[in-house]
Homo-oligomer: A and B are copies of this chain.
């Protein structure tokens, strides 16, 4: 991990400012995926200036950690990148009537600002902390900065527990569902559509596939005390060769979101069972993450924050920690339903409350 780029060229982040002002400042350094360098430089420079942290750099990811010899080490993690700006650019941020508007105010520069405030404000935390600021979360998974660091330097991510500061609207969200996609294909025999009796229509056969999907009763599955709602849904369908041809194949792309009581292999076996008799082909697939809320480090976290705990329905990078054997939860400011929206915004009190909650645990 090379040192920072040329000193003095970084934009400046003032970690002594309050968390709302700091969130706005972090948002105002644009960092659409692949363009995180200026923000990564600013974060690295601000953390190095603190003096009490070991700071590492990997591409546009920045890792900083205390080394106080505590019994427990925890990770606080957040991504630096955002989705592109709205067509009517939603930056710089503006603050109105207690709400901060703009790209990143929800996903997830409030979380990044909270991490920076804790890094600066708690030089001697109750457990050692590894702060992980990473790049390329909002694009295809293979570019994910956290995944890259986990592959390059798994030692850097050694920890007893991790908190991912993705927006959770004030609650703690435990674990996450896994997800896989399967192409279910029906096959027929092509023919001229004026003489369909000479062929066999594969799209008509897809009625059975869609019928099974419509009739499917998704399960609710409790894992480590949280109830996950599974889902099996078509996300795509395609078939047809030309306007005068009976099509010889039709493919329904199905997305299965499965509870973390099972892995990809078991989940795929279930989908194959649902579509028994049809050709199935597994597409992309990732395991979910068990909440692990029965483990001591997680129990301490929940007890310290004193906030409600819900299951995480969508897949998040907590699954990457889970794959490393580190129990992890999501906790961060912002309403996740506003993530990626043109009118992305967050009440400023959420930033303050998130900072206070984590201080109860680490301070």
Q: Please report A residues at the B interface, Cβ cutoff 8 Å.
A: 177, 179, 181, 192-197, 201, 203-207, 210-211, 213-214, 229, 231, 233-247, 250, 252-253, 255, 257, 283-284, 313-315
Q: Is the CB of A235 within 8 A of B247?
A: yes
Q: Is the CB of B235 within 8 A of A237?
A: no
Closest to A245 in B: B235
Q: A203-B210, A206-B237 are in contact. Are A255 and B243 (CB under 8 A)?
A: yes
Residues of B close to A196: CB separation below 8 A: 231, 233
Q: A192-B314, A314-B195 are in contact. Are A237 and B236 (CB under 8 A)?
A: no
Q: Is the CB of A233 within 8 A of B204?
A: yes
Closest to A315 in B: B194
Q: Is the CB of A235 within 8 A of B246?
A: yes
Q: Is the CB of A235 within 8 A of B231?
A: no
Candidates B204, B211, B233, B240; contact of A201 at CB < 8 Å = B233
Closest to A247 in B: B235
**Which 5 pairs, one residue from A and one from B, show the smallest C-beta to C-beta distance?**
A236-B240, A207-B210, A203-B234, A194-B314, A194-B313
Residues of B close to A194: CB separation below 8 A: 177, 179, 231, 257, 313-315
Q: Is the CB of B257 within 8 A of A193?
A: yes
> How far apart are the CA atoms of A252 and B210 in the complex, in Å?
13
> How far apart are the CA atoms of A217 and B135 in the complex, in Å?
58
> How far apart are the CA atoms of A203 and B234 in the complex, in Å?
6
Q: Is the CB of A234 within 8 A of B195?
A: no
> How far apart are the CA atoms of A231 and B88 in the complex, in Å?
50
> How far apart are the CA atoms of A201 and B205 in the complex, in Å?
19
> How far apart are the CA atoms of A234 and B243 in the complex, in Å?
9
Residues of B close to A233: CB separation below 8 A: 193, 196, 201, 204, 246
> How far apart are the CA atoms of A234 and B231 in the complex, in Å?
28
Chain B: minimal CB distance from A97 (Å) = 28
Q: Is the CB of B234 within 8 A of A247?
A: yes
Q: A194-B179, A233-B246 are in contact. Are A240 and B211 (CB under 8 A)?
A: no
Return 7 A-B CB contacts under 8 Å, by A number: A193-B257, A195-B313, A201-B233, A234-B239, A235-B242, A235-B245, A243-B284
Residues of B close to A211: CB separation below 8 A: 207, 211
Q: Is the CB of A243 within 8 A of B237?
A: no
Candidates B193, B205, B252; contact of A255 at CB < 8 Å = B193
Chain B: minimal CB distance from A196 (Å) = 5
